[in-house]
Each structure stands twice: as structure tokens, then as C-alpha cells.
Amino acid sequence: MKKILFIFLIFFASSLNAQEKSNYKKVAEKFQSFYNSGDYESIFNLFDQNMKKAMPLEKANTFFSQNMKADLGLIKKMEFYKYKQTAHIYKTTFDNAVFDVLISLDAKNAINELYVSPHAFDNLPKLERNITKMILPFQEEWTVFWGGTTVEDNYHVAYKNQKGAYDLGIEKNGKSYKGNPKKNSNYFVFGKKVIAICDASVVKVIFGVKDNVPGKLNPNQLTGNTVILKTKANEYILYAHLKEHSITVKEGQQIKQGDVLGLCGNSGNSSEPHLHLSLQNVKNMNIATGAKLYFSNIKVNGIVKKRVHSYKKR
């Protein structure tokens, strides 16, 4: 999984005294109105010629409908809060997240640069690792597909919100499936029980996402069917890519370590059945910082370990 990051053109500059200019206010209001109504052609018509070449109408339609609205939802509010050179940055509250929208205008008030990125909140809680004792999220013997502290062992490390994450599955004789690789049911891990790694409360559930055909991705719903738990120590644990219609818990529910949350699936931005498990400092994945997950008394390659974190893949 990769964090949401949409870039048309990027430039760097220092902030100036923040006071919104009237021409930018008008364009921002139009942008919000057109975006919420699905009138992406009108957004395209706000671009200057260079932007139109870089982002043709068909590409703009796909970007705003599939990459932005499908993930972030509608815009509730755009608040101007700082400059980058003459460009304005708006703290933009969507249905599902808060992002920064940078808009730059030319002399004719046409948009010549647009940059959308997760809003950097100040004073978010710090989390290096879990202090709550945790067990593995499965029974039987599973395999670490991606895990570790280097990008070579764990591609998640490159992403701030996932840097301690694991991708977990089951392998037999070096393969994760038997038979036709295009059938989810042929993967050894598909449909296996996924359990709570500690006592916690359920703070977020995403359900109703179809399982992918192996090899195809669903970038419009990155985590697929999802459960997020919160411990008493304010640690947030994200389970992603669960099987459609398999989640057995509800938001607000208190659960015990070992309770079944759902079944392993292949929903969301997933190429084959597996479980994505990560620890983060806040519930919202878009603004979170990932942390190290330590497990207690587990068996690794046949050897019992008292405490393990970020174990390397395979």
C-alpha cells in the first residue's frame, strides 16, 4: 500500500504573511463548487494552457473522480492559511481526510500549478513502538512477505505512515498458492481467521469492498475491508485487505486479545491475498506516523522468541 499523494507540479518556497487575495478566493470557491458537483471539465477550464497540456481533460476527469473523490470524498471546507511565493495553500477538509491544496494563478487568474498533499498537523502524539503486550494476528504458521527496517526487506519503510508495517501470508514449498493463481480460493491464506493482537476498542471499520482478482489492484480503496483498533495506551492498529463480508466486529465494540476480527482477503490495493498489519500514532492513516510492532512469545523459524519486532521477510 502507498500513501495518498497527488502531484501535478511541485515547487518550493518560503511562507509569507498569510492574507488571502480576492482573486485566489474566487478561484478556490469555484474549484470547490465544481469538484463537489463533479463538474471536472469546468475545473479543467480553470487551467492555463501548460496545465491543460500536462493534465488533459480525460486525465483530469480520472484524477478528480477516481484518485481524489473516491478516496477523500467531498470538500467540506477550504481555509487559506499560508503562501508559497504567490501561490496560496488551503487547508482542505474532505469527508474522509484533511489535505493541503496549493493553487497558483497566472496574470490572467488561470491555474498554472496545483498540488494536493496530506495536511501536516502540529502536535500529533509521538509513538515509537507499542507498550501494550501483543500476540500475532493469526493462528497456524504464516510467512512475512514484507517486514523489517530497511526498504530492501520492507517497502513500507519508505512511507512515513507505514514504516513499521508487515505484509503477511502463508507459503508452502516457496509458493503462496496452488493451482490457478487467478483464483483467491487457491491461496493458502485466503479465508484464514485474523485475530485481535491485544485487548482494544474498535474505532474504525470499512466493509463492503470486493475482493480483487489476484494481480489486479483497487487503488480507489487503498486498505480495502479494514479494522482499526485502539488500545488503552492510545496505540492504533490497522488491519487491511480483509475478505469481503467477513468482518465480525463493529465500531465502538470492546474486544479481547484473540477475538476473531474477520478473515484474510484480497480487497483494496492488494495484488494477492494477504494481511497488512501496522501500528500508528493516530487513527487517520493519511496523517499518521508508523511505529514498530513488538510481539511477545512467538515462534520464528521454529525458535521461540520472547520479543520480536519488524522481522524480515521470508
The structure's pTM equals 0.70
Class of domain 143-309: mainly beta
Phi, psi of 71 (to 5 degrees): -95, -45
Every domain of the chain and the residues it spans: 6-118, 143-309
User: Can you give the three-state secondary structure of 9-61, one letter per residue?
Assistant: CCCCCCCCCCCCCHHHHHHHHHHHHHHHHCCHHHHHCCECHHHHHHCCHHHHH
Whether the domain at 6-118 and the domain at 143-309 fall into the same CATH topology: no
Q: Cα–Cα–Cα angle for 93, 95, 97, nearest 5°? A: 60
* pLDDT for 1: 47
Q: Which residue stretches of the chain are H helix?
A: 22-37, 40-44, 49-54, 57-62, 70-72
* Tens place of pLDDT per residue across the chain (314 aa): 444 444 444 333 334 456 999 999 999 999 999 999 999 999 999 999 999 999 999 999 999 998 788 778 899 999 999 999 999 999 999 987 889 999 999 999 999 999 998 887 778 899 999 999 999 999 889 999 999 888 889 888 888 889 999 999 999 999 999 999 999 999 999 999 999 999 999 999 999 999 999 999 998 788 999 999 999 999 999 999 999 999 999 999 999 999 999 999 999 999 999 999 999 999 988 889 999 999 987 777 777 765 555 444 44
Class of domain 6-118: alpha beta
